[in-house]
Amino acid sequence: MTVIAVIGSQWGDEGKGKAVDFLAERADYVARFNGGNNAGHTVINEFGTFKIHLVPSGIFAKNAVGLIGGGVVVDPSVLIEEIEMLNKSGVNVDGRLWVSPRSHVIMPYHKILDGLYEEAKGKGATGTTRRGIGPVFADKVSYNGIRWTDFTSDMFEQRLEVQLTLKNKIITALGGEALEFNKVRDEYRAYYGKVKPYLKELFSIVQDGLKADKTFLLEQAMGSFLDTDWGTYPFVTASTTIPSAATAGLGIPPKYIQNVVGVTKAYTTRVGGGPLPTEIHDTESEVYKKFGEVAATTGRIRRVGWLDLEIVRTAAQLSGMTEICLTKLDILSGLKEIQVCTQYKFNGQTIRYADVDAYGLDEVECMYESFPGWSEDISKAKTFEDLPANAQKYVKMIEEAAGVPVKMIGVGPARDETIRR
Protein backbone atom coordinates (compact mmCIF):
# COMPACT_ATOMS: atom_id res chain seq x y z
CA MET A 1 0.00 0.00 0.00
CA THR A 2 1.79 3.14 -1.08
CA VAL A 3 0.31 6.51 -0.40
CA ILE A 4 2.89 9.27 -0.60
CA ALA A 5 1.97 12.77 0.50
CA VAL A 6 4.23 15.52 -0.82
CA ILE A 7 3.94 18.60 1.36
CA GLY A 8 5.73 21.91 1.72
CA SER A 9 7.43 22.40 5.06
CA GLN A 10 7.62 26.21 4.97
CA TRP A 11 5.36 28.98 3.58
CA GLY A 12 4.74 27.54 0.13
CA ASP A 13 6.76 27.47 -3.09
CA GLU A 14 9.24 24.95 -1.71
CA GLY A 15 9.38 23.16 -5.06
CA LYS A 16 6.49 20.72 -4.60
CA GLY A 17 5.65 20.76 -8.32
CA LYS A 18 9.13 19.63 -9.27
CA ALA A 19 9.20 16.95 -6.55
CA VAL A 20 5.82 15.55 -7.62
CA ASP A 21 6.83 15.54 -11.29
CA PHE A 22 10.01 13.65 -10.31
CA LEU A 23 8.18 11.07 -8.20
CA ALA A 24 5.20 10.59 -10.51
CA GLU A 25 6.85 7.97 -12.69
CA ARG A 26 6.02 5.35 -10.05
CA ALA A 27 2.49 6.60 -9.35
CA ASP A 28 -0.82 5.17 -10.50
CA TYR A 29 -2.72 8.20 -9.19
CA VAL A 30 -1.54 11.77 -8.75
CA ALA A 31 -3.93 13.90 -6.75
CA ARG A 32 -4.65 17.34 -5.38
CA PHE A 33 -6.66 17.44 -2.15
CA ASN A 34 -6.61 21.04 -0.86
CA GLY A 35 -6.47 24.69 -1.91
CA GLY A 36 -7.22 25.92 -5.39
CA ASN A 37 -5.53 27.93 -8.08
CA ASN A 38 -3.79 30.07 -5.49
CA ALA A 39 -1.17 27.34 -5.94
CA GLY A 40 1.46 27.80 -8.60
CA HIS A 41 3.62 24.73 -9.11
CA THR A 42 6.56 24.88 -11.50
CA VAL A 43 7.42 21.82 -13.54
CA ILE A 44 10.31 21.66 -16.00
CA ASN A 45 10.63 18.43 -17.96
CA GLU A 46 10.81 17.05 -21.51
CA PHE A 47 7.41 18.66 -22.34
CA GLY A 48 8.57 22.17 -21.46
CA THR A 49 8.20 24.63 -18.59
CA PHE A 50 4.86 24.83 -16.83
CA LYS A 51 3.31 26.82 -13.99
CA ILE A 52 0.39 24.66 -12.94
CA HIS A 53 -2.41 25.82 -10.66
CA LEU A 54 -5.00 23.03 -10.49
CA VAL A 55 -4.10 19.90 -12.43
CA PRO A 56 -1.79 17.64 -10.39
CA SER A 57 1.86 18.18 -11.34
CA GLY A 58 2.30 14.44 -11.77
CA ILE A 59 0.07 14.40 -14.88
CA PHE A 60 3.14 14.32 -17.16
CA ALA A 61 3.71 10.68 -16.21
CA LYS A 62 1.75 9.02 -18.98
CA ASN A 63 0.44 6.13 -16.90
CA ALA A 64 -0.72 8.27 -14.01
CA VAL A 65 -4.36 9.20 -13.53
CA GLY A 66 -4.94 12.73 -12.20
CA LEU A 67 -7.50 13.35 -9.46
CA ILE A 68 -8.78 16.70 -8.20
CA GLY A 69 -10.45 15.93 -4.88
CA GLY A 70 -13.55 17.42 -3.30
CA GLY A 71 -11.31 19.41 -0.95
CA VAL A 72 -10.07 21.51 -3.86
CA VAL A 73 -11.85 24.68 -4.92
CA VAL A 74 -12.08 25.05 -8.68
CA ASP A 75 -12.04 28.19 -10.78
CA PRO A 76 -13.50 26.75 -14.00
CA SER A 77 -11.82 29.20 -16.35
CA VAL A 78 -8.41 28.29 -14.91
CA LEU A 79 -9.13 24.56 -15.08
CA ILE A 80 -10.33 24.74 -18.69
CA GLU A 81 -7.35 26.83 -19.73
CA GLU A 82 -4.94 24.45 -18.02
CA ILE A 83 -6.49 21.37 -19.64
CA GLU A 84 -6.32 23.00 -23.07
CA MET A 85 -2.73 24.09 -22.50
CA LEU A 86 -1.67 20.59 -21.41
CA ASN A 87 -3.44 18.91 -24.32
CA LYS A 88 -1.73 21.32 -26.72
CA SER A 89 1.65 20.58 -25.14
CA GLY A 90 1.30 16.88 -25.92
CA VAL A 91 0.25 15.86 -22.41
CA ASN A 92 -3.12 14.37 -23.21
CA VAL A 93 -5.27 14.52 -20.07
CA ASP A 94 -8.55 13.35 -21.61
CA GLY A 95 -9.81 10.16 -20.01
CA ARG A 96 -7.22 10.34 -17.22
CA LEU A 97 -8.11 13.46 -15.27
CA TRP A 98 -11.08 13.36 -12.92
CA VAL A 99 -12.54 16.18 -10.90
CA SER A 100 -14.74 15.47 -7.90
CA PRO A 101 -18.32 16.77 -8.33
CA ARG A 102 -18.07 17.57 -4.61
CA SER A 103 -15.51 20.27 -5.27
CA HIS A 104 -16.71 23.83 -4.77
CA VAL A 105 -16.78 26.31 -7.62
CA ILE A 106 -15.11 29.69 -7.38
CA MET A 107 -17.68 32.26 -8.48
CA PRO A 108 -16.99 35.83 -9.69
CA TYR A 109 -18.23 37.26 -6.36
CA HIS A 110 -15.60 35.25 -4.47
CA LYS A 111 -12.83 36.99 -6.36
CA ILE A 112 -14.45 40.41 -5.96
CA LEU A 113 -14.95 39.89 -2.21
CA ASP A 114 -11.37 38.66 -1.79
CA GLY A 115 -10.15 41.98 -3.19
CA LEU A 116 -12.63 44.11 -1.24
CA TYR A 117 -11.79 42.41 2.09
CA GLU A 118 -8.08 42.86 1.47
CA GLU A 119 -8.50 46.53 0.67
CA ALA A 120 -10.67 47.07 3.77
CA LYS A 121 -7.91 45.59 5.96
CA GLY A 122 -5.32 48.01 4.64
CA LYS A 123 -1.96 47.44 6.33
CA GLY A 124 -3.24 44.35 8.10
CA ALA A 125 -4.11 42.65 4.81
CA THR A 126 -3.16 39.00 4.37
CA GLY A 127 -1.72 39.64 0.94
CA THR A 128 -3.86 36.97 -0.70
CA THR A 129 -3.53 35.85 -4.29
CA ARG A 130 -6.98 37.41 -4.87
CA ARG A 131 -8.20 34.22 -6.47
CA GLY A 132 -11.32 34.11 -4.24
CA ILE A 133 -9.92 31.40 -1.97
CA GLY A 134 -10.95 32.77 1.45
CA PRO A 135 -14.51 33.68 0.33
CA VAL A 136 -15.16 30.34 -1.45
CA PHE A 137 -14.04 28.31 1.58
CA ALA A 138 -16.09 30.61 3.84
CA ASP A 139 -19.14 29.80 1.70
CA LYS A 140 -18.30 26.11 1.82
CA VAL A 141 -18.29 25.93 5.61
CA SER A 142 -21.26 28.26 6.02
CA TYR A 143 -23.41 26.14 3.64
CA ASN A 144 -23.49 28.82 0.97
CA GLY A 145 -21.27 27.14 -1.57
CA ILE A 146 -22.01 26.00 -5.11
CA ARG A 147 -20.62 22.62 -6.08
CA TRP A 148 -20.28 20.98 -9.48
CA THR A 149 -23.00 18.52 -8.52
CA ASP A 150 -25.45 21.45 -8.35
CA PHE A 151 -25.11 21.91 -12.11
CA THR A 152 -26.82 18.59 -12.80
CA SER A 153 -30.19 20.13 -11.87
CA ASP A 154 -31.76 23.57 -11.47
CA MET A 155 -30.10 23.67 -8.03
CA PHE A 156 -27.34 25.79 -9.55
CA GLU A 157 -29.75 28.56 -10.59
CA GLN A 158 -31.60 28.40 -7.28
CA ARG A 159 -28.44 28.67 -5.24
CA LEU A 160 -26.93 31.33 -7.48
CA GLU A 161 -30.00 33.50 -7.09
CA VAL A 162 -29.80 33.40 -3.29
CA GLN A 163 -26.05 33.98 -3.29
CA LEU A 164 -26.20 36.91 -5.69
CA THR A 165 -28.88 38.55 -3.55
CA LEU A 166 -26.62 38.22 -0.52
CA LYS A 167 -23.30 38.94 -2.17
CA ASN A 168 -24.47 41.92 -4.23
CA LYS A 169 -25.51 43.64 -0.99
CA ILE A 170 -22.02 43.28 0.42
CA ILE A 171 -20.29 44.14 -2.83
CA THR A 172 -22.27 47.33 -3.39
CA ALA A 173 -21.97 48.35 0.27
CA LEU A 174 -18.20 48.15 -0.14
CA GLY A 175 -18.28 50.26 -3.29
CA GLY A 176 -18.20 47.45 -5.83
CA GLU A 177 -20.50 46.77 -8.76
CA ALA A 178 -23.40 44.32 -8.49
CA LEU A 179 -23.26 41.16 -10.60
CA GLU A 180 -26.08 40.27 -13.01
CA PHE A 181 -27.77 36.92 -12.53
CA ASN A 182 -28.24 36.13 -16.24
CA LYS A 183 -24.67 36.93 -17.12
CA VAL A 184 -23.15 34.82 -14.35
CA ARG A 185 -25.56 31.95 -15.00
CA ASP A 186 -24.79 31.83 -18.73
CA GLU A 187 -21.05 32.09 -18.17
CA TYR A 188 -21.04 29.28 -15.63
CA ARG A 189 -23.44 27.06 -17.59
CA ALA A 190 -20.95 27.33 -20.48
CA TYR A 191 -18.07 26.43 -18.16
CA TYR A 192 -20.01 23.44 -16.90
CA GLY A 193 -20.37 22.19 -20.46
CA LYS A 194 -16.59 22.12 -20.78
CA VAL A 195 -15.82 20.72 -17.32
CA LYS A 196 -18.52 18.01 -17.45
CA PRO A 197 -16.42 15.40 -19.30
CA TYR A 198 -13.90 15.51 -16.42
CA LEU A 199 -16.37 15.25 -13.54
CA LYS A 200 -16.52 11.88 -11.81
CA GLU A 201 -17.20 10.77 -8.25
CA LEU A 202 -13.82 9.72 -6.86
CA PHE A 203 -14.99 7.50 -4.01
CA SER A 204 -14.78 4.18 -5.89
CA ILE A 205 -11.65 5.15 -7.79
CA VAL A 206 -9.84 5.86 -4.52
CA GLN A 207 -11.26 2.91 -2.58
CA ASP A 208 -10.65 0.41 -5.40
CA GLY A 209 -7.15 1.82 -5.88
CA LEU A 210 -6.28 1.41 -2.22
CA LYS A 211 -7.64 -2.14 -2.24
CA ALA A 212 -5.62 -3.00 -5.34
CA ASP A 213 -2.41 -1.68 -3.79
CA LYS A 214 -2.06 1.17 -6.26
CA THR A 215 0.39 3.97 -5.63
CA PHE A 216 -1.10 7.37 -4.82
CA LEU A 217 0.98 10.53 -4.95
CA LEU A 218 -0.79 13.32 -3.04
CA GLU A 219 0.27 16.85 -3.90
CA GLN A 220 -0.33 19.42 -1.20
CA ALA A 221 -0.88 23.01 -2.20
CA MET A 222 0.58 25.86 -0.14
CA GLY A 223 2.93 25.08 2.77
CA SER A 224 2.62 23.83 6.34
CA PHE A 225 2.64 27.34 7.82
CA LEU A 226 -0.15 28.62 5.61
CA ASP A 227 -2.41 25.99 7.20
CA THR A 228 -5.55 27.60 8.65
CA ASP A 229 -5.00 26.06 12.10
CA TRP A 230 -1.24 25.61 12.38
CA GLY A 231 -0.07 28.46 10.21
CA THR A 232 0.57 32.06 11.13
CA TYR A 233 -3.12 33.04 11.41
CA PRO A 234 -4.50 35.38 10.05
CA PHE A 235 -1.66 35.30 7.52
CA VAL A 236 -2.65 31.89 6.25
CA THR A 237 -4.68 30.34 3.48
CA ALA A 238 -8.23 29.04 3.83
CA SER A 239 -7.55 25.30 3.64
CA THR A 240 -5.89 22.67 5.74
CA THR A 241 -2.45 22.03 4.30
CA ILE A 242 -1.15 19.27 6.55
CA PRO A 243 -1.37 15.72 5.12
CA SER A 244 -4.48 14.80 7.12
CA ALA A 245 -6.36 17.12 4.74
CA ALA A 246 -6.15 14.30 2.20
CA THR A 247 -8.62 12.35 4.30
CA ALA A 248 -11.40 14.89 3.90
CA GLY A 249 -10.20 16.30 0.59
CA LEU A 250 -9.80 13.02 -1.27
CA GLY A 251 -11.25 10.25 0.86
CA ILE A 252 -7.95 8.60 1.84
CA PRO A 253 -8.29 7.15 5.37
CA PRO A 254 -5.57 8.49 7.72
CA LYS A 255 -4.00 5.07 8.32
CA TYR A 256 -2.80 4.96 4.70
CA ILE A 257 -0.81 8.21 4.88
CA GLN A 258 2.47 6.69 6.02
CA ASN A 259 4.95 8.28 3.62
CA VAL A 260 5.28 12.02 3.86
CA VAL A 261 7.84 13.83 1.76
CA GLY A 262 8.54 17.27 3.21
CA VAL A 263 9.71 19.54 0.43
CA THR A 264 12.07 22.02 2.04
CA LYS A 265 13.83 24.91 0.38
CA ALA A 266 17.48 25.31 1.40
CA TYR A 267 16.51 28.83 2.51
CA THR A 268 13.08 30.37 3.16
CA THR A 269 10.63 32.39 1.06
CA ARG A 270 7.21 33.82 1.67
CA VAL A 271 4.71 35.74 -0.47
CA GLY A 272 2.18 38.08 1.13
CA GLY A 273 1.95 39.35 4.71
CA GLY A 274 2.83 37.72 8.01
CA PRO A 275 5.91 36.89 10.04
CA LEU A 276 9.11 35.60 8.50
CA PRO A 277 11.58 35.40 11.42
CA THR A 278 14.72 34.91 9.29
CA GLU A 279 13.80 37.58 6.73
CA ILE A 280 16.63 39.39 4.95
CA HIS A 281 15.68 43.02 4.48
CA ASP A 282 18.79 44.33 2.78
CA THR A 283 17.65 44.32 -0.83
CA GLU A 284 21.15 45.27 -1.95
CA SER A 285 22.85 42.31 -0.30
CA GLU A 286 24.35 39.45 -2.33
CA VAL A 287 22.22 36.90 -0.52
CA TYR A 288 18.96 38.81 -1.13
CA LYS A 289 19.72 38.88 -4.83
CA LYS A 290 20.64 35.20 -4.88
CA PHE A 291 17.50 34.09 -3.06
CA GLY A 292 15.18 36.38 -5.07
CA GLU A 293 12.19 34.72 -6.77
CA VAL A 294 9.05 35.76 -8.60
CA ALA A 295 5.77 34.15 -7.48
CA ALA A 296 4.39 31.56 -9.93
CA THR A 297 0.74 32.61 -9.52
CA THR A 298 0.73 36.36 -8.98
CA GLY A 299 4.13 37.48 -10.27
CA ARG A 300 4.85 39.19 -6.94
CA ILE A 301 8.40 39.28 -5.57
CA ARG A 302 8.86 36.65 -2.88
CA ARG A 303 10.25 37.72 0.49
CA VAL A 304 13.40 35.79 1.40
CA GLY A 305 15.23 34.62 4.50
CA TRP A 306 17.76 32.12 5.80
CA LEU A 307 16.75 28.54 6.51
CA ASP A 308 14.66 28.31 9.69
CA LEU A 309 15.16 24.93 11.35
CA GLU A 310 12.47 25.50 13.97
CA ILE A 311 9.96 25.80 11.14
CA VAL A 312 11.17 22.64 9.40
CA ARG A 313 11.29 20.74 12.70
CA THR A 314 7.73 21.77 13.53
CA ALA A 315 6.51 20.81 10.05
CA ALA A 316 8.18 17.41 10.41
CA GLN A 317 6.34 16.80 13.67
CA LEU A 318 2.96 18.09 12.50
CA SER A 319 2.93 16.10 9.29
CA GLY A 320 4.69 12.92 10.36
CA MET A 321 7.34 13.60 7.75
CA THR A 322 9.28 10.50 6.74
CA GLU A 323 11.75 12.07 4.32
CA ILE A 324 12.89 15.48 3.19
CA CYS A 325 13.27 16.63 -0.38
CA LEU A 326 15.72 19.52 -0.10
CA THR A 327 15.40 21.99 -2.97
CA LYS A 328 17.49 24.81 -4.38
CA LEU A 329 20.74 23.73 -2.74
CA ASP A 330 22.43 25.00 -5.92
CA ILE A 331 21.33 28.54 -5.10
CA LEU A 332 23.57 28.57 -2.02
CA SER A 333 26.69 27.92 -4.13
CA GLY A 334 29.08 30.84 -3.96
CA LEU A 335 28.11 32.04 -0.48
CA LYS A 336 31.08 32.19 1.88
CA GLU A 337 28.92 31.78 4.97
CA ILE A 338 25.43 30.37 5.30
CA GLN A 339 23.32 31.41 8.27
CA VAL A 340 20.78 29.04 9.74
CA CYS A 341 18.25 29.76 12.48
CA THR A 342 18.51 26.86 14.92
CA GLN A 343 16.02 28.03 17.54
CA TYR A 344 13.93 30.97 18.78
CA LYS A 345 14.30 33.06 21.92
CA PHE A 346 11.42 35.09 23.31
CA ASN A 347 11.88 37.23 26.44
CA GLY A 348 15.17 35.41 27.01
CA GLN A 349 13.56 31.96 26.95
CA THR A 350 13.97 29.30 24.28
CA ILE A 351 10.55 28.71 22.75
CA ARG A 352 8.98 26.61 20.06
CA TYR A 353 7.06 27.89 17.02
CA ALA A 354 3.78 26.77 18.57
CA ASP A 355 4.30 28.79 21.76
CA VAL A 356 3.55 32.13 20.10
CA ASP A 357 0.98 33.46 17.66
CA ALA A 358 1.75 35.21 14.39
CA TYR A 359 2.35 38.53 16.12
CA GLY A 360 4.61 36.89 18.70
CA LEU A 361 6.53 35.18 15.92
CA ASP A 362 7.31 38.63 14.57
CA GLU A 363 9.03 39.37 17.89
CA VAL A 364 11.10 36.21 18.36
CA GLU A 365 14.85 36.42 18.21
CA CYS A 366 16.48 33.89 15.91
CA MET A 367 19.55 32.10 17.21
CA TYR A 368 21.82 31.74 14.20
CA GLU A 369 24.61 29.32 13.48
CA SER A 370 26.96 30.01 10.65
CA PHE A 371 28.04 27.29 8.24
CA PRO A 372 30.89 27.53 5.74
CA GLY A 373 29.69 27.64 2.13
CA TRP A 374 31.15 26.21 -1.09
CA SER A 375 32.15 27.85 -4.32
CA GLU A 376 31.62 24.97 -6.76
CA ASP A 377 28.72 24.86 -9.21
CA ILE A 378 26.75 21.80 -8.07
CA SER A 379 24.13 21.76 -10.80
CA LYS A 380 25.71 18.74 -12.51
CA ALA A 381 26.00 16.67 -9.33
CA LYS A 382 24.32 13.28 -9.71
CA THR A 383 25.12 11.68 -6.37
CA PHE A 384 25.45 12.89 -2.81
CA GLU A 385 29.18 12.15 -3.01
CA ASP A 386 29.48 14.54 -5.99
CA LEU A 387 28.61 17.44 -3.66
CA PRO A 388 31.37 19.49 -2.03
CA ALA A 389 32.09 18.51 1.58
CA ASN A 390 30.46 21.66 2.99
CA ALA A 391 27.29 21.08 0.97
CA GLN A 392 27.16 17.52 2.33
CA LYS A 393 27.58 18.91 5.85
CA TYR A 394 24.74 21.38 5.28
CA VAL A 395 22.43 18.54 4.21
CA LYS A 396 23.42 16.37 7.18
CA MET A 397 22.88 19.26 9.57
CA ILE A 398 19.30 19.67 8.29
CA GLU A 399 18.40 16.02 8.65
CA GLU A 400 19.81 15.92 12.14
CA ALA A 401 17.89 19.04 13.21
CA ALA A 402 14.62 17.85 11.69
CA GLY A 403 15.09 14.24 12.72
CA VAL A 404 14.16 13.18 9.18
CA PRO A 405 16.47 11.87 6.44
CA VAL A 406 17.09 14.00 3.36
CA LYS A 407 16.48 11.58 0.49
CA MET A 408 16.15 13.93 -2.46
CA ILE A 409 18.26 16.99 -3.22
CA GLY A 410 17.47 19.56 -5.88
CA VAL A 411 20.44 21.07 -7.68
CA GLY A 412 18.50 22.82 -10.44
CA PRO A 413 14.89 23.50 -11.50
CA ALA A 414 14.53 20.70 -14.09
CA ARG A 415 13.22 17.25 -13.23
CA ASP A 416 16.55 15.52 -13.80
CA GLU A 417 18.48 18.03 -11.69
CA THR A 418 17.69 15.91 -8.66
CA ILE A 419 19.89 13.69 -6.52
CA ARG A 420 18.14 10.58 -5.13
CA ARG A 421 19.93 9.50 -2.00
Candidates 174-182, 218-226, 341-349, 366-374 — which segment interacts with ligand IMO by CB under 6 A? 218-226
Q: How far is the C-alpha of 343 from the C-alpha of 42, rounded, in Å?
A: 31
Binding site for ligand GDP (CB under 6 A): 8, 12-18, 40-42, 44, 296, 327-328, 330-331, 410-413
Cβ closest to ligand GDP, residue 149 vs residue 390: 390
- In the set 13, 150, 227, 330, the catalytic residue is 13
Told to check if 40 binds Mg ion by CB under 5 A, we report yes
> Is 41 among the catalytic positions?
yes
Candidates 93-101, 187-195, 294-302, 374-382 — which segment interacts with Mg ion by CB under 5 A? 294-302
Contact 358, 126 (CB under 8 A): no
Site track for Mg ion across 6-35, x = CB under 5 A: -------x----------------------
Cβ closest to Mg ion, residue 56 vs residue 209: 56
Query: In the complex, what is the shortest distance from the CB of residue 328 to Mg ion, in angstroms, rounded to a whole number?
Result: 13
Q: Which does 37 bind (CB under 5 to 8 A by kind): ligand GDP, Mg ion, ligand IMO, none?
A: none
Cβ closest to ligand IMO, residue 168 vs residue 237: 237
Contact 353, 288 (CB under 8 A): no
Query: In the complex, what is the shortest distance from the CB of residue 274 to ligand GDP, in angstroms, rounded to a whole number?
Result: 17
Whole-Å CA distances, 284 to 287, 290, 292, 406: 9, 11, 11, 32
Query: In the complex, what is the shortest distance from the CB of residue 10 to ligand GDP, in angstroms, rounded to a whole number?
Result: 9
> Is 154 among the catalytic positions?
no
Query: In the complex, what is the shortest distance from the CB of residue 41 to ligand IMO, in angstroms, rounded to a whole number?
Result: 6
Q: What's the farthest any 2 CA atoms get from each other in the chain?
A: 65
Candidates 18-26, 131-139, 175-183, 250-258 — which segment interacts with ligand IMO by CB under 6 A? 131-139
Site track for ligand IMO across 270-289, x = CB under 6 A: -xx-----------------
Q: Which does 410 bind (CB under 5 to 8 A by kind): ligand GDP, Mg ion, ligand IMO, none?
A: ligand GDP
Q: How far is the C-alpha of 124 from the C-alpha of 93, rounded, in Å?
A: 41
Query: In the complex, what is the shortest distance from the CB of residue 272 to ligand IMO, in angstroms, rounded to a whole number?
Result: 2
Residue type, 100: S
Q: How far is the C-alpha of 296 from the C-alpha of 13, rounded, in Å?
A: 8
Q: Which of 133, 205, 250, 316 binds ligand IMO (CB under 6 A)?
A: 133
Cβ closest to Mg ion, residue 296 vs residue 387: 296
Told to check if 38 binds ligand IMO by CB under 6 A, we report yes
Told to check if 221 binds ligand IMO by CB under 6 A, we report yes
The binding site for ligand IMO (CB under 6 A) comprises 8, 12-13, 38-41, 126-129, 131, 133-134, 221-223, 226, 235, 237-238, 271-272, 296
Residues designated as active site: 13, 41
The binding site for Mg ion (CB under 5 A) comprises 13, 40, 296
